C-alpha cells in the first residue's frame, strides 16, 4: 500500500447500520502496519474533518 492509498482510507461506521465492534475486529485483523492502522482509525479523519487529534 503506498502513502497515497493510506491517506485515502477512513474507517466509517454508520450508526445503527453496522456493528461497531465487528468493524473494529475486521480492521484489527487486517494485514496492515501499525502506522496504516493509526491513519485509518484517526489521522485521516482528523485531516478530513479538521479535528486536532492530539
Q: Give the model confidence (pLDDT) of 15-48 as tens digits.
A: 565 677 888 888 889 898 998 888 888 888 888 8
Q: State whether residue 13 is helix, strand or coil.
A: coil
Specify the pLDDT at position 51: 83
Report CA-CA distances (Å) from 15 to 1, 37, 39: 28, 21, 21
Alpha helices in the chain (DSSP H): 3-8, 20-28, 34-38, 44-49
Specify the pLDDT at position 15: 57
Specify the pLDDT at position 31: 92
Task: Give the predicted TM-score (pTM) of the model.
Answer: 0.60
Q: Which helix (H) or strand (E) holds 8?
A: helix 3-8
Residue predicted with more confidence, 34 or 1:
34
Specify the pLDDT at position 48: 81
Amino acid at each position: 500500500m503506498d502513502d497515497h492509498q493510506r491517506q485515502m482510507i477512513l474507517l466509517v461506521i454508520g450508526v445503527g447500520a453496522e456493528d461497531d465492534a465487528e468493524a473494529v475486529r475486521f480492521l484489527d485483523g487486517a494485514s496492515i502496519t501499525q502506522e496504516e492502522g493509526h491513519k485509518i482509525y484517526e489521522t485521516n479523519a482528523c485531516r478530513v474533518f479538521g479535528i486536532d487529534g492530539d
